């Protein structure tokens, strides 16, 4: 189950800022735990296995894990999120180099809210940020395991979403044959390059229709559809609504 489809409820957040970490006695946890080490090191035994978390490492423990942590000998900067979810989250237990600038920024946001939000329901306010953190980690893992050719194709399509894109254009940029690019892409994503491009354009069109700033024809033109009627037929085929119906219902 993807993280975006999961219902998540944060029950505890802690940021240990450059202080020694206390020991945690061995016990089975009845929640999920996400621990992110920003500086220095934490040593755990998880389900009988030794795990050393160093700067930039992430530990994800699903509900039911048995956890023990040694007291740290030096100051350590880390954050911990304890939360419940209605579905299984499929992340690896240990994630090396899982921290990037976006994750550090979200942690800063959590700190600001925690420091200035005194209501007892602060965890509810932080829950969407936790979900964003988990999504960033998931995306980072997906990108790390994705074929570099596929990443280049996706990047090209995203950067040229306002243009009419062909397999020939992509093949010229990627320096592989059109058929090879399409085979590799479909094997990795389950979609052809053209279908992926259309899905991306339709999703962008949906957002622009909801915003209601541009005319329907202007939206079609901005996404590389010179023929509005073709765009309208394609939109209805993908969504079940014409662009005007979608804009009117404001989904």
The SS3 of residue 138 is helix
Structural domain total, the chain: 2
Burial grade of 149 (CB within 10 A; 0-12, 13-18, 19 or more):
middle
- Domain residue limits at 207: 148-249
Q: Are residues 121 and 153 in the same domain?
A: no
Domain boundary among 127, 145, 163: 145
For the cut 60, the answer to whether the pLDDT of residue 237 exceeds it is: yes
Q: Are residues 20 and 133 in the same domain?
A: yes
CATH number for 79? 2.60.120.280
Domain boundary among 145, 179, 199: 145
The model's confidence at residue 144, banded by pLDDT at 50, 70 and 90, is confident
Q: Are 68 and 25 in contact (CB under 8 A)?
A: yes
- Tens-digit pLDDT profile for residues 58-72: 999 999 999 999 999
Average pLDDT over residues 174-183: 91
Q: Are 83 and 130 in contact (CB under 8 A)?
A: yes
Average pLDDT over residues 127-143: 89
Q: Are residues 185 and 103 in the same domain?
A: no
Q: Are residues 79 and 50 in the same domain?
A: yes
Average pLDDT over residues 95-105: 89
Q: What is the mean pLDDT of the chain?
A: 90
Q: Are residues 111 and 67 in the same domain?
A: yes
Q: Are residues 226 and 128 in the same domain?
A: no
CATH number for 242? 1.10.10.60
């Amino acid at each position: 189950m993807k993280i975006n489809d999961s219902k998540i409820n944060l029950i505890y957040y802690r940021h240990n800022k450059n202080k020694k970490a206390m020991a945690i006695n061995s016990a089975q946890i009845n929640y999920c735990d996400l621990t992110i080490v920003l500086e220095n090191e934490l040593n755990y035994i998880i389900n009988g296995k030794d795990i050393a978390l160093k700067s930039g490492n992430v530990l994800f423990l699903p509900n039911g894990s048995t956890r023990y942590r040694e007291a740290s000998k030096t100051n350590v900067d880390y954050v911990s999120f304890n939360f419940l979810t209605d579905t299984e989250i499929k992340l690896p237990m240990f994630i090396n180099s899982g921290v990037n600038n976006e994750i550090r920024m979200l942690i800063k946001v959590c700190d600001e809210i925690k420091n200035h939000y005194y209501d007892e329901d602060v965890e509810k306010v932080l829950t969407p940020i936790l979900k964003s953190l988990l999504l960033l980690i998931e995306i980072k893992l997906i990108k790390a395991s994705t074929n570099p050719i596929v990443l280049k194709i996706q990047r090209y399509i995203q950067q040229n979403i306002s243009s009419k894109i062909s397999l020939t254009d992509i093949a010229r940029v990627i320096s592989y044959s059109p058929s090879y690019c399409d085979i590799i892409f479909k094997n990795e994503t389950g979609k052809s390059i053209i279908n992926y491009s259309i899905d991306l354009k339709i999703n962008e069109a949906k957002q622009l229709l909801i915003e209601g700033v541009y005319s329907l024809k202007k939206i079609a033109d901005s996404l590389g559809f010179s023929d509005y009627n073709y765009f309208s037929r394609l939109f209805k085929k993908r969504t079940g609504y014409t662009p005007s119906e979608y804009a009117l219902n404001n989904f």
